[in-house]
Structures are given as structure tokens and as C-alpha cells.
Amino acid sequence: MATLVIAEHDNKTLKDATAKTVTAATQLGAGVHVLVAGQNCSAVAAAAAKLAGVGKVLLADDALYAKMVAETMETLILSLAGGYDAILAPATTNGKNYLPRVAAKLDTPQISEIVKVVAPDTFERPIYAGNAIQTVQAGAGKKVVSVRTTAFKPAAATGSAAVEKVAAASDPGTSKFVGEELSKSERPELTAAKIVISGGRGLQSAENFKLLEKIADKLHAAVGASRAAVDAGFVTNDYQVGQTGKIVAPDLYIAVGISGAIQHLAGMKDSKVIAAINKDEEAPIFQIADFGLVADLFKAIPELEEELTKLGA
Amino acid sequence: MHRTNSGRLKTSVSASLADARDELLIAGPFSQGISNAMKVLVPVKRVIDYNVKVRVKADQTAVDLANVKMSMNPFDEIAVEEAVRLKEKGKASEVVAVSIGPAQASETIRTALAMGADRGILVKTQGEVEPLAVAKILKAICDAEKPDLVITGKQAIDDDSNQTGQMLAALLGWPQATFAHKLELEAASAKVEREIDGGLQTLEVKLPAVMTTDLRLNEPRYASLPNIMKAKKKPIDEKTPADYGVDTTPRLKVLKVSEPPKRQGGVKVKTVAELLARLKDAGVL
């Protein structure tokens, strides 16, 4: 039986997280179908149909799924689950929200945030904030798995699967979407950016984060933050990189004024190259940084901006 | 804020006011009928302290927990704090802390009781209990206790599963509000602001419901000494999974627990210009 991947999207565009989850799904060795649940999201379904390895796209286009509320996603996925051996979702806040409901109703344990498919029933996943890697084997029955997308390359857009409409499932009617406050930014998304520049408590204020934004604009980078910076109110929660925030693995991660608590390292230590600027030469971040600069960030950052301007960035 | 001395003082005063009110509620047969007399159930997990450096056992079977400091899962502390605040505001009548784990998990329950929970339920288990089994036990407890709201941490910092609250909600057929940033409790519903990838989302869920906490919901208090003493007298019921008819045998097989690949520290550079040159050489700029 095939593997079902639940798509991550915003009703307009298919997120990269879906293409990466498809890659993990193809490694299970069976066919891959993608479920796009949303409202007025046919463009998303069309994009999913192009992903290499996808045999079929199921489109559930209904107001019920506009915001992927967990209770409605649960009944929809359960209505389709009979035809699948495995159900995979990206470990986004949406996937983390609805997927355990599906597993519980199927009476099967969920395997969270896999970083490697060892065999179709065996996976690696980080535990203890990535300080240990667990290799875990699923038992008989359906597999319900969430995927840490930074660990997989996106499937190429070379396919041409058919899109099939599926009916909406029942609405438990127990929860209602009220509203949302989404950060608007011209910069790339934190989890998809090739370069991330993050600030910590060392930045000292929300105002000073603008220093990082200027650098980010020159480098086409995303801006991230440590928990300390978010807790202090310098930036909003969606900037947080770490064990319980966003997991990133860009080509270049620049940590500015971040000491490097293990909970932060858990969110960025798989970056290809890590650069750190911190005035405390004992800061733990230097133990994992490829390039460390011991300096006052308020001198180093304007200088960095100047040098980048010279380079024509 | 709550970690100052004055904060602690204030906390213990308001807690005793809440206790007085609680006695009134429990005393009368009409307490069930009072609309704001909500019961809150708070599942808490005993985990490795978040400051401890984790080591994998040489035989690669698990993480070494021998002689390691254990604490309440930080997200569950936030859950206890939120429940206790509801009680202090008169919105909840009783806060029940539940832990599923070894005998020492009673210490974790005591911590919750010292923070202001009223009583505890310890479900004694041996070995690892998977989130689904935990959710099944909690479901049985909810069937018996009939709470209006369950508040628990969004994930435990040991297995990082982020499943239990959602699974419990599904098994009960209740709505959920995960990753809570702010809670406004009404008579029959809760409005919850949630931390999501793009920012914040607000949901309204009908009660009873399950809510899981994110980091910024509140800042948990330290228990004051008088409250720690008082907590010793609060009751803890001891149960076993068999009491709830739940089989806790793991369904997943852990084949290995290994160290992650170590990342080597690199070089220190002297100037910003040198840093840029190195990044260019590395091909990332």
C-alpha cells in the first residue's frame, strides 16, 4: 500500500517542507500520494502534482480546511487512512498539531521528527534536544511519522501526477478559527533560507535587531533569534530557532550575540557553516562555530555591513 | 517577575485566599453547580533537568540517567503555573496534578502541589511509557475525574515527541489548543492564542478541551517554603496502569541510542574582513 503525505501550504503556495517530506516518503519504497487540504488551493495541488515520486494528489478543497484546524484534519485524514500503510507529515506547527490525533485514533504510536529513513520501518530521530539519536523500529500496523524537513532534500518538480478531488469529512464543530497575526517579511522564510543571521540577548533591544536586518537584506538572508531574545521581546516568537522553536540547517548560519545554550544549538547545529560573533570568548557557541570572531557586535556588525557594501552586496 | 521575593510573598498570600475559597466550594453540595468551579487536570512528567549535559550509555541502549538531576519538564511547569493562576483568579476550583512514571515521580507531583495544585495522582510505571500509552491512561483518568480543562506541556524535553496532549484530546474526542501563548477562559469555551510557524493564531475551543503550553504563556513561580511544607500534607493517590486497564508495553522498538555526529569547533578570526574572506573561501557567501 502507498504512503500518504500531508501537504504544508498556505492555500496559495506549496511549502518546501512538503517536497522534503515527499523525499522521505519515497524512501519507504511504496507509492506516494499527497493530500492537499485547504480552501481555494487548486494551485497548491497542481504544484504538488509536479513533485517527483508523487503518484497522485488528493485535493480536499473546503472551508473546513482553510486553516488546517487539527480536529477537522483528523477526521479528513482518518477518512482516507484505510488505503495507506504509512502517513507522513512535515514537523511544522501544523503537522505537529494534527498528526498525533490521527495516530491516536489509529491506535498506533507516532514516530516524531525523523531525520533518516534507515529501512521502510526503521527511522532515526533526535531526542534530548539532539544530544542523542534514537534508531526506532515500528511494529505491525500503520506507521504515522512526522519529518524533520531540514534532514531531507526537496523532491524535484519533474513529475506530473493526476489530481483527484476528495470529499470533505465530518466537522466535529468543537473549535473555531478566530484570527491570526502573521509576520510579514520580504526576506526568505527562516526554514528555507540559504543564509540565516540570528541575534541573541547580546542585541539588547528590538531596535538593535534592525542592525541584523540590514545585513540580512544584503545577503538575502532570513533573520532568526535565540529564545532569550524572543523572551525579552526583541522579536516575535516566529523568529525563534531551537529545540522547541524552528529547526534550521542553512548553508551559512551567523550567530550574533548568542551564547549557545544547548537548546539553541539543537535548532541550528546541522547548518553547513556556522559563524559566530560574540564578545565573550568563552561562549559555548565558539565550540561549534567554524569561524568565530571575538568582538563587540556593535562594532563588528556596522563594519560587516560596510564590508558587504564594498563587495557590492 | 514571579522569581522575586516580593513575588513569592504575593503568591503565597493569594494562594491561601484561593484555598479558603476552595474550602467554601467543597463544603457545599452546590459546588458542582457553580459555573466558575472548573476542574483543571495537569499532567506533569519527570525528566532529566534541562541544564544537565546528556550522555549516551556506552552500550548504546539509552541515555545515562544514573545519578543525574531530574526535574519537572519545563513545559509542564508552565502548565502548572497557568492552572494555579486560574485558581487564584477564581476561574478554577481545583487543580489536580497527574504524573505517570517511577515512584520518584511523586517528587514531581510534590513540586506541582507546592506551586499550588490541590492534589495528585501518581500512576506508577516501570521503564519507558510511550506517549500513546500515557494518553490512554490520562483518558481513563479524565473519564473518572471529568476535568473541564487539561493543561500540559507541548513536549517533554527528553523524548521531544510533542504528542501526548494531542493524542489525549483525540481519544477523548475533545478539541485542542496546542502551543498556547495566551489563554482567556470563558464559561463554556477557551480562547487561546497559539504560537505557529508564521506568527500567532487564535482559536476558540469548546470546553472540555486540552491545551498544551508554549514557552511564553507565563513564567512559572518558585514554590515558597511555606507552600512546600503545605504540599507535604496534600494527598497523592497511587495507581497503576492496570487500574485503568492500559497496557504500557512499548509498541516501538528502540534499536539503538547513539551520540550525534560531533561538530568540531573551527578557527577564531581576528577581523570582520577576515571573517568575510573565510566565508567566501568556504563558498557560502
| Mean of pLDDT values over A223-237 | 96
Q: What is the pLDDT of residue B196?
A: 95
Q: What is the model's pLDDT at position B36?
A: 56
ipTM metric? 0.95
What is d(CA B172, CA B142) in angstroms, rounded to the nearest whole number?
8
Strand, helix or coil at A288? coil
At which of A165, A183, A218 does a domain end?
A165
Q: Which residues are B120's β-sheet partners?
A: B97, B236
Domain boundary among A165, A183, A206: A165
Would residue A119 count as lying in a domain? yes
- Select the residue from B172, B207, B216, B275 to test the A interface by mutation, using most A Cβ atoms within 10 A: B275
* Judgement on whether residues A224 and A161 belong to the same structural domain of the protein: no
Rounded to whole angstroms, the Cα distance separating A126 from A151 reads 11
Q: What is the mean pLDDT of chain A?
A: 96
* A11 and A154 belong to one structural domain: yes
Give the residue on A whose Cα is nearest the Cα of B268.
A292
- A63 close to B (CB below 8 A): no
Q: For residue A61, is it within any domain? A: yes
What values do phi and psi take at A61, rounded to 5? -105, 105
Q: Which of A110, A219, A227 sits opposite B215 (nearest CB)?
A: A227
Residue at A173 is within a domain: no
User: Considering only CB atoms, which chain A residues are within 8 Å of B158?
Assistant: 127-128
Same domain, yes or no: A144 and A259:
no
How many folded domains does chain A comprise?
Answer: 2
A190-223 pLDDT, tens digit each: 998 999 999 999 999 999 999 999 999 999 999 9
pLDDT at A184: 87
For residue A136, what is its C-alpha cell? 526506532
Contacts of A109 in chain B (CB under 8 A): 130-132, 251-252
Residue A31 near residue A3, CB atoms below 8 Å: yes
CB-CB contact of A103 with B222 (8 Å): no
Closest partner residue to A174 (CB to CB) among B159, B163, B205 is B205
CB interface of A with B, residues 184-243, below 8 Å: 191, 195, 219, 227, 230-231, 236-238, 243
- pLDDT tens digits along B32-89: 444 557 999 999 999 999 999 999 999 999 999 999 999 999 999 999 999 999 999 9
Q: Are residues A224 and A303 both part of a single domain?
A: yes
φ and ψ of A122, to 5 deg: -130, 135
- Confidence class of residue A313 from pLDDT cuts 50, 70 and 90? low
Cα separation, A294 vs A300, whole angstroms: 9
A144 at interface of B, judged by CB pairs closer than 8 A: no
Dump pLDDT digits (tens) for B218-233: 999 999 999 999 999 9
Residue of B nearest to A313 (CA): B285
| A170 falls within a domain | no
Verify that A243 and A109 share a domain, yes or no: no
Residues of chain A contacting residue B201, judged by C-beta atoms under 8 Å apart? 67, 177, 179-181
Is B263's CB within 8 Å of A138's CB? no
Tell me if chain B has a CB within 8 Å of the CB of A312. Answer: no
Q: Which of B157, B163, B264 to mutate to test the interface with A (most CBs of A within 10 A)?
A: B163
Question: Given 3-state DSSP classes, what are the helix, strand and coil percentages for chain A, each rounded to the nearest 5?
Answer: 35, 30, 35
SS3 readout for chain B: CCCCHHHHHHHHHHHHHHHHHHHHHHHCCCHHHCCCCEEEEEECCEEECCCCCCCECCCCCCECCCCCCEEECHHHHHHHHHHHHHHHCCCEEEEEEEEEECCCHHHHHHHHHHHCCCEEEEEECCCCCCHHHHHHHHHHHHHHHCCCEEEEECCCCCCCCCCHHHHHHHHHCCCEEEEEEEEEECCCEEEEEEEECCEEEEEEEECCEEEEECCCCCCCCCCCHHHHHHHCCCCEEEECHHHHCCCCCCCCEEEEEECCCCCCCCEEECCHHHHHHHHHHCCCC
| Residue A66 counted as domain residue | yes
pLDDT score recorded for residue B12: 37
Q: Does residue A261 fall inside a structural domain? A: yes
- Phi, psi for A36 (deg, rounded to 5): -105, 110
Pair (A138, A201) in one structural domain? no
Q: Does A15 reside within a domain?
A: yes
Report the alpha-carbon distance of residue B177 to residue B205 in Å, rounded. Answer: 7
Strand partners, A110: A144
Lookup result for grid cell 503565597: B12
Alpha-carbon dihedral angle through residues A199, A301, A217, A200, given to the nearest 10 degrees: 0
Q: What is the CATH number of the domain that holds A208?
A: 3.40.50.1220
User: pTM for this structure?
Assistant: 0.92
Shared-domain flag, residues A264 and A117: no
Q: What is the pLDDT of residue B17?
A: 41
Where do we find the cell 497559539? B194
Note whether A199 and A281 are same-domain residues: yes
Q: Which three cell numbers stand for residue A272?
A: 553547513
Q: Of the residues A119, A147, A165, which one is the last residue of a structural domain?
A: A165
Query: Taking CB atoms and an 8 Å limit, are A105 and B131 in contact across chains?
Result: no
Strands (E) in chain A, as ranges, are: 2-6, 32-38, 54-61, 84-90, 110-114, 116-119, 122-127, 132-137, 143-147, 162-165, 175-182, 195-199, 222-225, 252-256, 273-278, 291-294
Q: Same structural domain for residues A32 and A143?
A: yes
- Domain assignment present for residue A270? The answer is yes
Q: How far apart are CA B136 and CA B144, in angstroms?
A: 13
At B14 the pLDDT is 40
If asked whether residues A6 and A123 sit together in one domain, one would say yes
**A45 and A158 housed in the same domain:** yes
The pLDDT mean for chain B works out to 89
- CA A262-A266-A269 angle, to 5 degrees, is 105
Check CB contact of A262 with chain B, cutoff 8 Å. yes
- What pLDDT is stored for residue A302 in this prediction? 96
CATH of the domain at A26: 3.40.50.620
Is residue A286 within 8 angstroms of chain B, CB to CB? Answer: yes
Local mean pLDDT, 10-residue blocks, chain B (285 residues): 36 40 41 64 97 94 95 98 97 97 98 98 96 98 98 97 98 98 96 96 98 97 96 98 97 97 90 96 93
- In this structure, the answer to whether residues A158 and A210 fall within a common structural domain is no
- Residue in chain B closest to A241 (alpha carbons) equals B197
Domain encompassing residue A264: 195-310
Query: Does the distance separating the beta carbons of B265 and A180 come in below 8 Å?
Result: no
